[in-house]
Amino acid sequence: MSSKLIAPSILAADFANLQRDIEMVNQSEADWFHIDIMDGVFVPNISFGMPVLKAITKHAKKTIDVHLMIVDPDRYIKTFAELGSTILTVHYEACTHLHRTLQAIKAEGMKAGVALNPHTNINLLEDTINDIDLVCVMSVNPGFGGQSFIENTYTKIKQLRELILKKGASTLIEIDGGVTSINAKKLIDTGADVLVAGSFVFKSKNPLETIKELKTIANS
C-alpha cells in the first residue's frame, strides 16, 4: 500500500516569516505544500496571489499542491503552471465546464484536482472521476483556517472511495480542514490518502514534531 501523505497548509504559516516556515516544511516529514489561493469572491477571504506563490516555489523543495478557491479559474491555469504548481485543484462549484478545465490543467503538465464544498455531492463526479488525479474533500466551509471539522466528511470519503473503485480510477482523496492527530487515523482508515493540516501544524509548539506525529499516525 502506498504511503499516506501529509500536506501542511501554508495559509496557516507566519507570513512575516514565510521563508522560515517553508524551510521547516522542507526539513520535515511532510510530503506536499498545500497552498490556498482565494479571491474574496468565491470565498469570503483573500489569501495571497502570484507574487507570494512565486516566492514560495523559489524555496519549496516538495510537491506544490495549489488549491484555487476562485471564480473562473481557467483564466489562470497557464500562469499557475509557469509558477511551478505540481497539482492544480479547482472547485467543482466554480467550473461551468469542468471536463474542459481538467483537460486544460493536464495540457499544461500539471496534475488535475477537484475540490468539493461540504454541501456538494460526491456523485456529481461520476462522469469525470477518471480524469481527476485528486479530489479535495472540504471538511470545513472554505475561506478561513482554524475551523472545526464537519463529521459528515467520513460519509463522503466512503462514497468517494466506492466511486473510485467502481470506475477503476486512480484518484487520490485529500481532506482539507480541521485535521488533527485525533481524527487523522479515522480519516485514513475511511479511505483518505492525503491530509492537509494548517493551524494544527503551524500553531503547535513544535511544528516539525507535529508533522512527524501526523505522518506516523497516517501510516500506522
pLDDT tier at 1, thresholds 50, 70, 90: low
Encode pLDDT of 132-181 as tens digits. 999 999 999 988 777 889 999 999 999 999 999 999 999 999 999 999 99
Mean pLDDT of the chain, nearest integer:
96
Domains within the chain, CATH numbers bracketed: 5-218 (3.20.20.70)
pLDDT tier at 104, thresholds 50, 70, 90: very high
Dihedral sign, Cα of residue 199, residue 203, residue 207, residue 212: negative
pLDDT for the residue 40: 95
Q: Nearest Cα to 187, choosing from 67, 145, 178?
A: 178
Q: What is the mean pLDDT of residues 49-71?
A: 97
Q: What is the mean pLDDT of residues 96-121?
A: 98
**117: how many CB neighbours lie within 10 A of its CB?**
17
Encode pLDDT of 9-48 as tens digits. 999 999 999 999 999 999 999 999 999 999 999 999 999 9
Q: What is the mean pLDDT of residues 59-87?
A: 98
The Cα 9–Cα 195 span in angstroms is 10
Active site residues: 36, 176
pLDDT for the residue 146: 74
pLDDT for the residue 144: 75
